[in-house]
Structure 1
Amino acid sequence: MGRLLLVLALALGVGWLWGRPKPPPPGVLAPHPPAQSPLGPEDPRVLVKGAYRLEPVARFALEARLLSKRRYRFDRGAAIAPWDFALGWGRMSDTAVLSRMRIWQADRFYFYAGSGEPPIPLGEIGESSANMHLIPASPGVEGPLARARPGQVVRFAGYLVNVYGPDGFFWRTSTTRQDTGAGACEIVFVTAFARR
C-alpha cells in the first residue's frame, strides 16, 4: 500500500510539473507594434452586438505579450467588453524589463510602478504598451480570451471601434499608440484570437 501511494504521489508530481506553464524565455517576445490600417471598401461601417452599435474606424492586428488581464462585470462597459488586456510589445515584452516593474489594472486603466530608475524610458513604456478593451465577436473568440494567461504571447485581429449603447452610453477608441491617460485605450472588436 505504501509503495502504491509513493508511485501515485510521484505520478501526480510529474503531471503537475509537466502541466505547469513554462516561464517566458528572455528577450523581446513580440518585436512589432500593432498594425493599424484604414478601412477598405469591403469592411463593415456598422456592427451590431446585442443592444450596442459599433462603428469600425480602422483595421487592427497585433502580436503582444499579455502583461495583465482583468474581467469587468459591473461597470457600464462590461456587457459589451468584459475583458481588458494590458499588452506589451518591443522591450515591453522582455522579461528582463518586466521583472523590474509591477503591473496591475483597475477602473479600465493599466498601471505600472517600480523602484529606482525605470528599466526603459517612460516614453518607450507608453508607446510600447497599452490597455485594450476587448469585445469578442463570437463565443469562439470569447473562450480563448478568457483562457489567456499573463506572460503568454497573444495574437488577435479585428477592428478598432467606437461604441454606442443604451441610455446614451458612448465609448471612443484611441487610434494612436502615443497617447496615455483617459481616452487612451483601444477598443477592439476581436474577430480572431490565438495564443503562442
Structure 2
Amino acid sequence: MRALQHYLAVALLVCVAGAVYLSLREVALPDPSRIGSAIRETEPLQEASDGRPFAIVIKGYTYAITPRATYDISGLVVSQHRGDAFFNLGHKVDPGNIKDVCVVWGDAVTSGAYRKVTFTSGEFTCSFSWSRNFTPPFNPEKASNNHLIPATAAIDRQIRAIHVGDQIRLTGFLVDYTVTKDGQEIFTRRTSLTRSDTGNGACEILYVTGLSVIAKGDHFQADAGRYAWYVGLAVFAALGVVWFVRPPLAE
C-alpha cells in the first residue's frame, strides 16, 4: 500500500508539473503563409449603430448595454484570458465578459512581425513586447484586445472553445455597459471605437452575435495541458482513497 501511495504521489507531481509547464509555455503561431486572406487583406468593419439600449441579467448581475457601433473583425488569436480564471478578481462581478481575446490582422500578419513578438493577456489587458528591433516593425494598430460578451448560450460555448493560433471572425456590436446588482451600480465600462488608441480604455467591448472559425490552430499543447490537469485531479482523488483505506500501522 505504501508503494502505491509513493507511485501515486510521484504521478501527481509529474501531472501538475506537466500541466503548469504546458500552460505557461508560449504557443507557436502559424506561419504567415497559412493565414487566410480575410485576415491578411481586410480591416475590421465598423459602422455607427442605431441599436437601442437593452438590459440582460447574467448570474444575478444586470447589464445595461448601449450599442455604439456594429463590428466585424477577422483576426489571428495571439493571446487570450478567461474571465472565469480562479485569480480574476475583477471578473467576479463581471460574469458576462467571459473571455478577452487578443487578435492581429493586416500587415502585422503579412510582414511576419507577429511571430517575433511576445503577447501576454492579463485581466482586461493584452500587452506585447520584443527583445530586439526588426524590419518591418510590428504595427500595434493591427492588433486589438476584445472583451467578449456572448449573445447566446451557443456563442458562449464557441467563445470558450477558442484557442491561441485559431483564425476567427467575430461579428456583433461594440458596446458600453453598466453592471448593477440588487439595485446598486458596480461599475461602467466603455468600448474603444478606434484601433489607434493605447492604454486603459483602448480595448473593444464586443457583444458577440456571430463567431466563425476560419481555420483552427494547433490545439495539441492546450489539450495536453488540460488533460494533464484532469489526470492530476484523478490521481489526487486516488491518492486520497488509498490514504483513507490503508491498513493501520502496526504498534
Work out whether 1:47 is the aligned partner of 2:54: yes
Residue from 55, 63, 68 that aligns with 1:57: 68
What is the one-letter code of the residue matched to 1:39?
S
Q: Using structure 2 for the length normalisation, give the TM-score.
A: 0.63
Residue from 83, 87, 104 that aligns with 2:120: 104
In structure 2, C-alpha distance between the alignment counterparts of 1:148 and 1:119, rounded to whole Å: 30
In the alignment, what sits opposite 1:35? 45
In structure 2, C-alpha distance between the alignment counterparts of 1:135 and 1:184, rounded to whole Å: 17
In structure 2, C-alpha distance between the alignment counterparts of 1:102 and 1:195, rounded to whole Å: 23
Work out whether 1:83 is the aligned partner of 2:99: yes
Number of residue equivalences: 170
In structure 1, C-alpha distance between the alignment counterparts of 2:44 and 2:151, rounded to whole Å: 19
Kindly indicate whether the alpha-carbon contact (under 8 Å) linking 2:150 and 2:207 is maintained by their aligned counterparts in 1: yes
Kindly indicate whether the alpha-carbon contact (under 8 Å) linking 2:113 and 2:137 is maintained by their aligned counterparts in 1: no
Extract unaligned runs of 5+ from structure 1.
1-21
Please state how far the C-alpha of 1:57 moved relative to its aligned partner.
0.5
Q: Using structure 1 for the length normalisation, give the TM-score.
A: 0.79
Extract unaligned runs of 5+ from structure 2.
1-27, 215-251
Work out whether 1:24 is the aligned partner of 2:30: yes
| Per-residue Cα deviation, 1:12-55 (whole angstroms, up to 9, x for no partner) | xxxxxxxxxx9734345412221000124xxx311222111100
Q: Which moved more, 1:112-121 or 1:157-166?
A: 112-121
In structure 2, C-alpha distance between the alignment counterparts of 1:94 and 1:103, rounded to whole Å: 17
In structure 1, C-alpha distance between the alignment counterparts of 2:56 and 2:90, rounded to whole Å: 15
Question: Between Structure 1 and Structure 2, which shows a larger proportion of helix residues?
Answer: 2
Compared CA separation, residues 32 and 58, structure 1 to 2 (3 A)? same
Residue from 197, 200, 203 that aligns with 1:179: 197
Bigger CA radius of gyration: 2
Using the aligned pairs only, state the percent identity: 25
